[in-house]
Amino acid sequence: MKIAILSQDSNLYSTRRIVEAGELRGHEMIVVNHAKCDLVIEKKKPQVYYQGEKLESFDAIIPRIGASITFYGTSVVRQFEMMKIFSTLNSQALIQSRDKLCSLQILSRAGLGMPKTAFTNNSKEVSSVIEKVGGAPCIIKLLEGTQGVGVVLAETKSAAESVLEAFHGLQARVIVQEFIKEAKGADIRVFVVDGVVVGAMKRQGKEGEFRSNLHRGGSATIHELSEEEENAALKAAKSLGLAICGVDMLQSNSGPMIMEVNSSPGLEGIEAATGVDIAKSIIRYIERNV
């Protein structure tokens, strides 16, 4: 098969691993920078051009869309879908997963556990919003933040009010969430491919850091999921319509709590922690569906 990986950097670990896995299974793998694609839209004839050439004859695409280019990346994925080319990531699912508030609403409707979350457009209601999630300490998150950027732990009510007022003054959209103290700065990343958990790791934030992101010095170890955790991850992926995703959850006294579902999860940390060939699982998913 001829498979395109939509990625802005062919040297990224995840991109390189998917290329390698595809070539090992005899496929033609081509990296396409979606940020440099041109879309031509006309009656029943959608077209994509890259570096002056029309892209055609692809059997499948693997979107690796960065958060900073979600709008345009989604447009490119949608164009390929209109061309009847199989995509490992549905364009509508990409939009929903990138909208933190929307994704939490969908997960809530599906009956999944999550930290209590509040959102307001009224800067005069900051005190009330903090109380609605159980008071301080609490977590304040930028809706557009990624990899732990724009996430603040407010340890007192006055600190929380100050942070919220500052964000509102900048006209930034934020959510407030209860702080799950018993998680102790750790979370679980579950990698799902085609309705099956293919790997899970526990990420622990470095000392004094409540965020467990590996980019921020956190460490990762293989994690054996409980049945409840596995079911929660699979249900989260299904409710958001994601065939391939990374589900992030906290271990709480009331069971697993979903924090976020990542539609373009990185492979480096999970492959290193688990020793599982995740890239191969992605290629085999395409083989089963094309």
Biggest alpha carbon distance in the chain? Answer: 60
**What is the per-residue pLDDT for 169?**
82
**Domain-located, residue 102:** no
Domains identified in the chain, total number: 3
Q: What CATH number is given to the structural domain containing 135?
A: 3.30.1490.20
> What are the tens digits of pLDDT across the range 29-54?
999 999 999 999 999 899 999 999 99
Residues 6 or more apart whose CB falls under 8 angstroms from that of 26 comprise none
**What is the per-residue pLDDT for 142?**
85
Name residue, tokens 């596995």. 230
Whether residues 216 and 171 share a domain: the answer is: no
**Domain-located, residue 111:** no
**Domain-located, residue 107:** no
Whether residues 173 and 189 share a domain: the answer is: no
Whether residues 199 and 158 share a domain: the answer is: no
Q: How confident is the model at residue 216 (pLDDT cuts 50, 70, 90)?
A: low
**What is the per-residue pLDDT for 148?**
54
Q: Dig out the tokens for 61 from the structure.
A: 């695409």
Q: What CATH number is given to the structural domain containing 49?
A: 3.40.50.20
* CA distances to 24, 234, 255 from 131, in Å: 55, 32, 23
**Domain-located, residue 101:** no
**Domain-located, residue 109:** no
Q: What CATH number is given to the structural domain containing 279?
A: 3.30.470.20
Whether residues 57 and 156 share a domain: the answer is: no
Whether residues 45 and 91 share a domain: the answer is: yes
> What are the tens digits of pLDDT across the range 90-121?
999 999 999 889 999 999 999 999 999 998 77
Domain-terminating residue out of 96, 131, 150: 96
Sign of CA dihedral 107, 108, 114, 120: positive
Of 39, 32, 100, give the one whose Cα is nearest residue 65: 32
Residue with more model confidence, 121 or 269: 269
Domain-terminating residue out of 153, 179, 205: 179
Q: Among residues of the chain, what percentage have pLDDT more than 70?
A: 93
Q: How confident is the model at residue 172 (pLDDT cuts 50, 70, 90)?
A: confident
Residues 6 or more apart whose CB falls under 8 angstroms from that of 230 comprise 190, 197
Supply the range of the domain harboring residue 211.
182-289
Domain-terminating residue out of 158, 179, 200: 179
